[in-house]
Amino acid sequence: MSLTRRYLAPLGLGAVGLTLSGCFYANTSQAPIATTYPYSEQQRMQAAHHWNVLAQHEATHILQRERVRFRDLYITPTHDHGLHGYSGGEFERGFRTLLTSELVTRGASVMTEPTDATAEVRIGVETVTHRDRGFIRPPVGAFTALTAGIAVATIPYNQWSEPALGLIPGGILADITSGSWTHTGNEEIIITTQIVDGERILYSSSNIYYINAGDRRQYAPHRVPQAPTTPTVSITDTW
């Protein structure tokens, strides 16, 4: 009897497993299953040089478009009246200047005042703040590379007479890869450059970047949290 039960128990578990797996292979679920996107990269904008790189990119692509290559262009001014050097908005002012220089250098006709024949170059910036992003796992292979680095470091530590020499392989690896290290962060910006002629959009290009949280005022000064104002009470000797 015990022999029979010994063989029937695994068979019963197998039957249950097949039954449950049938539900899985039938692709049934009570709610959509969350999946991730394929691995991709996104640059971090954290220097005025990066603004110039974007200006070069936009100028090149603008002059490749037949509809705008030979048009007179007018870059619309910023809408940051009342702002000063310490309140923010540096990106829009700086990027307009850089884009103007790149367009003129490449032979574009850029006007200082709009006319009936000019097409307007408009620049828009939208900031995005993620408040509940959760854990972002490292790319495939990151843990394997880290484990391999630790294993390599233990070889000299175990075999060399001076334990400090065990740090050399790790130092070499850090020197090679540290230039590409950066954190993901919760702050992003969407920068859109458009060329508009009346009601028609002749050119539109949007680029997305990570930014440092402390740099938000450079892109959206009106969306930077302000310190609460201190209430004041007027005191006089008049009843």
pLDDT digits over 133-148, tens only? 766 666 666 556 555 5
Query: Tens digit of pLDDT for each residue in 87-136?
Result: 568 999 999 999 999 999 999 999 999 999 999 999 999 999 988 876 66
Strand partners, 183: none
Asked whether residue 76 falls in the same domain as residue 176, the answer is: no
Q: Percentage of the chain surpassing pLDDT 70?
A: 57
Residue 20 covered by a domain: no
Asked whether residue 191 falls in the same domain as residue 216, the answer is: yes
CATH number for the domain including 90? 3.40.50
Q: Looking at residue 125, what DSSP letter applies?
A: E
Which one has a higher pLDDT value, 76 or 157? 76
Q: What angle do CA 134, 140, 146 make, to 5 degrees?
A: 95
Residue 17 covered by a domain: no
Asked whether residue 171 falls in the same domain as residue 218, the answer is: no
Asked whether residue 114 falls in the same domain as residue 217, the answer is: yes
The residue type of 13 is: L
User: From the CB of residue 55, how many other CB atoms can be counted at a distance below 10 Å?
Assistant: 21
Asked whether residue 102 falls in the same domain as residue 158, the answer is: no
Which distant-in-sequence residues (6+ apart) come within 8 Å of 148 by Cβ? none
Query: Tens digit of pLDDT for each residue in 38-70?
Result: 888 899 999 999 999 999 999 999 999 999 999
Residue 13 covered by a domain: no
Asked whether residue 111 falls in the same domain as residue 53, the answer is: yes
Asked whether residue 57 falls in the same domain as residue 169, the answer is: no
Asked whether residue 122 falls in the same domain as residue 210, the answer is: yes
Residue 163 covered by a domain: yes
Q: Are 212 and 154 in contact (CB under 8 A)?
A: no
Residue 135 covered by a domain: no
Asked whether residue 111 falls in the same domain as residue 173, the answer is: no
Range of the domain at 167: 142-180
C-alpha–C-alpha distance, residues 205 and 195, integer Å: 9
What 3-state DSSP class applies to 210? strand
How many domains is the chain partitioned into structurally? 2
Residue 160 covered by a domain: yes
97-99-102-104 Cα dihedral, nearest 10 degrees: -70
Asked whether residue 86 falls in the same domain as residue 146, the answer is: no
pLDDT the model gives residue 6: 61
Residue 60 covered by a domain: yes
Asked whether residue 73 falls in the same domain as residue 120, the answer is: yes
The residue type of 231 is: P
The closest alpha carbon to 93, from 191, 195, 219, 205, belongs to 219
Query: Tens digit of pLDDT for each residue in 191-203?
Result: 999 999 999 999 9
Asked whether residue 98 falls in the same domain as residue 58, the answer is: yes
C-alpha–C-alpha distance, residues 154 and 14, integer Å: 45
Which distant-in-sequence residues (6+ apart) come within 8 Å of 165 by Cβ? 156, 157
Residue 22 covered by a domain: no
Q: What angle do CA 208, 196, 103 make, to 5 degrees?
A: 70
